[in-house]
């Protein structure tokens, strides 16, 4: 009897928990939405959590943005759980009846169905606000990528960005049909677009809020520049620090202990052994030559052999350390690459900001500057003298990792990779650069001739 009552109690609690899933999910989503609203009120004056709406450092904004992403993730997960459980339980249509409520009425003074809709209203407002922001950002990035490589197009993209942000702050929402109609009207306008852009620029200059917009755009550009430069420094410093610290404090002790315990070979490969042998032979020949010409004191054959033996021990210790350094470099470089990859994967917003910063710099260059950069790049990597650079680079990389410099592989790489790179680069010029900046291509051809 006791077991059956316990089973009934467990079943009752599970039933209660299952039927309470919609309310519990909605409450958790509502609490997360309130957290986002509280951050907006405390730090951004009730505006969305974006760099344009607050004057904060990059570190402070990253903290606030991290909280915003965490709470938005909670809201989305709990609302998905709410919809799934609501559909499963088939909530009555009476409880979902819309009720008009004042915004300043506390929740503890509203009846049950009204509380339900008040929570949904706040959650929908928060989700709609940040989903519109993400869609707007994606549209702006696509428009920027498709714009010509000229300062005029860059200025037009920044004007569109500032107008889009101001419209978002004013809370204006446009439906899909209206957006399509507007795009069609722009594409099929009677007047030239340059005249319409001039009229729009005059309207912006006569706008009483134009000065505020300029200041806001300047602050946004300054924040983006700071974030981009800081992220570039992080991409350079963090992998170097990871490689140095891991090599000296983690990998080196382990490698030395392992090589001493296992009595590892002095030379990692035959190439290192041959190099050490040639070095010892050169030393012996040079020492004997100095003895013969009287530059060194006259020594017996046993003394000469003792000197050569001491030099052999020095060369052995030197190459033992080189072998250990090569093994340490392999593991330290892997750690550096992993840190670089983690930095890119965890800082996607900084990567997008850096990409926009680079695009802005490239769009601001003149045609002759673009052609100069293209010629410099092609001459270094695929030009007439580039095989020597590739050979030095590959040999240095092989020595860094303790690998033998295989001449056949190096020559095969030089014979294939620069050719492939040159073909890809010429295809990019013909396919993309010729379409987005024909004047830069014409300048490149004239300078290259």
Average pLDDT over residues 215-232: 86
Cα distance between residue 214 and residue 202, in whole Å = 14
When pLDDT is cut at 50, 70 and 90, the band that residue 329 belongs to is very high
Average pLDDT over residues 143-169: 42
Weakest mean pLDDT among 162-166, 313-317, 324-328, 440-444: 162-166
Indicate whether 136 pLDDT > 80: no
When pLDDT is cut at 50, 70 and 90, the band that residue 231 belongs to is very high
Average pLDDT over residues 4-12: 62
Task: State residue 6's pLDDT score.
Answer: 58
Q: Give the residue among 289, 188, 231 at the shortest CA–CA distance from 62.
A: 231
- Among left, alpha and beta (phi > 0; psi -120 to 50; other), residue 149 is beta
Average pLDDT over residues 284-310: 87
CB contact at 8 A, 334 and 407: no
Average pLDDT over residues 13-32: 79
Cα distance between residue 185 and residue 368, in whole Å = 36
Average pLDDT over residues 343-351: 90
Indicate whether 415 pLDDT > 70: yes
Task: State residue 279's pLDDT score.
Answer: 92
Task: State residue 156's pLDDT score.
Answer: 41
Strand locations in 198-276, DSSP E? none
Indicate whether 4 pLDDT > 70: no
Task: State residue 105's pLDDT score.
Answer: 44
Residue 378: DSSP 8-state: H
Q: Give the residue among 309, 286, 312, 290 at the shortest CA–CA distance from 299.
A: 290
Weakest mean pLDDT among 234-238, 271-275, 278-282: 271-275
Q: Give the residue among 86, 152, 215 at the shortest CA–CA distance from 366.
A: 152
Indicate whether 71 pLDDT > 90: no
The pTM assigned to this predicted structure is 0.54
Average pLDDT over residues 298-325: 89
Sign of CA pseudo-dihedral 431, 432, 438, 444:
negative
Rg over alpha carbons for the chain, rounded to the nearest Å, is 34
Task: State residue 384's pLDDT score.
Answer: 76
When pLDDT is cut at 50, 70 and 90, the band that residue 107 belongs to is very low
Higher pLDDT: 383 or 95? It is 383
Indicate whether 233 pLDDT > 90: yes
Indicate whether 198 pLDDT > 60: yes
When pLDDT is cut at 50, 70 and 90, the band that residue 312 belongs to is very high
Average pLDDT over residues 275-298: 88
User: Average pLDDT over the chain, rounded to whole?
Assistant: 76
Average pLDDT over residues 271-299: 88
CB contact at 8 A, 414 and 391: yes
């Amino acid at each position: 009897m006791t077991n059956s009552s316990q089973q009934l109690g467990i079943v009752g609690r599970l039933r209660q928990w299952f039927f309470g899933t919609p309310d519990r999910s909605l409450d958790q989503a509502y609490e997360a939405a309130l957290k986002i609203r509280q951050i907006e009120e405390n730090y951004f004056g009730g505006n969305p959590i974006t760099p344009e709406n607050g004057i904060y450092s990059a570190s402070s904004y990253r903290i606030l943005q991290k909280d915003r992403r965490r709470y938005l993730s909670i809201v989305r997960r709990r609302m998905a759980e709410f919809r799934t459980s609501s559909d499963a339980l088939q909530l009555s249509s009476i409880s979902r009846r819309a009720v008009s409520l004042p915004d300043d009425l506390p929740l503890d003074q509203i009846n049950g169905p009204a509380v339900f809709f008040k929570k949904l209203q706040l959650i929908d407002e928060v989700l709609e606000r940040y989903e519109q922001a993400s869609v707007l950002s994606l549209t702006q990035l696509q428009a920027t990528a498709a714009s010509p490589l000229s300062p005029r197009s860059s200025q037009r993209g920044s004007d569109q960005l500032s107008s889009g942000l101001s419209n978002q702050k004013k809370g204006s929402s446009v439906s899909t049909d209206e957006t399509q109609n507007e795009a069609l009207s722009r594409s099929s306008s009677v007047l030239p677009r340059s005249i319409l852009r001039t009229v729009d620029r005059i309207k912006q200059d006569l706008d009483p809020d134009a000065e505020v917009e300029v200041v806001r755009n300047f602050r946004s550009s300054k924040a983006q520049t700071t974030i981009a430069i800081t992220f570039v420094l992080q991409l350079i410093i963090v992998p170097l620090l990871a490689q140095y610290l891991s090599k000296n404090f983690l990998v080196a002790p382990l490698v030395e202990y392992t090589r001493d315990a296992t009595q590892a070979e002095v030379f990692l490969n035959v190439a290192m052994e041959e190099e050490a042998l040639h070095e010892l032979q050169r030393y012996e020949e040079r020492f004997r030559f100095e003895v013969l010409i009287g530059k060194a004191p006259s020594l017996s054959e046993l003394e000469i052999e003792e000197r050569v033996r001491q030099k052999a021990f020095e060369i052995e210790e030197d190459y033992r350390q080189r072998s250990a350094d090569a093994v340490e470099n392999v593991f330290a470089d892997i750690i550096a690459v992993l840190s670089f990859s983690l930095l890119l994967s965890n800082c996607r917003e900084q990567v997008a900001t850096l990409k926009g910063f680079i695009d802005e710099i490239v769009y601001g260059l003149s045609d002759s500057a673009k052609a100069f950069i293209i010629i410099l790049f092609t001459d270094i990597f695929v030009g007439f003298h580039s095989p020597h650079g590739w050979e030095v680079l590959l040999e240095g990389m092989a020595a860094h990792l303790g690998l033998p410099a295989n001449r056949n592989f190096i020559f095969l790489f030089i014979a294939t990779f620069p050719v492939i790179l040159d073909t890809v680069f010429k295809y990019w010029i013909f396919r993309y650069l010729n379409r987005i900046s024909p004047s830069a291509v014409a300048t490149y051809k004239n300078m290259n001739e």
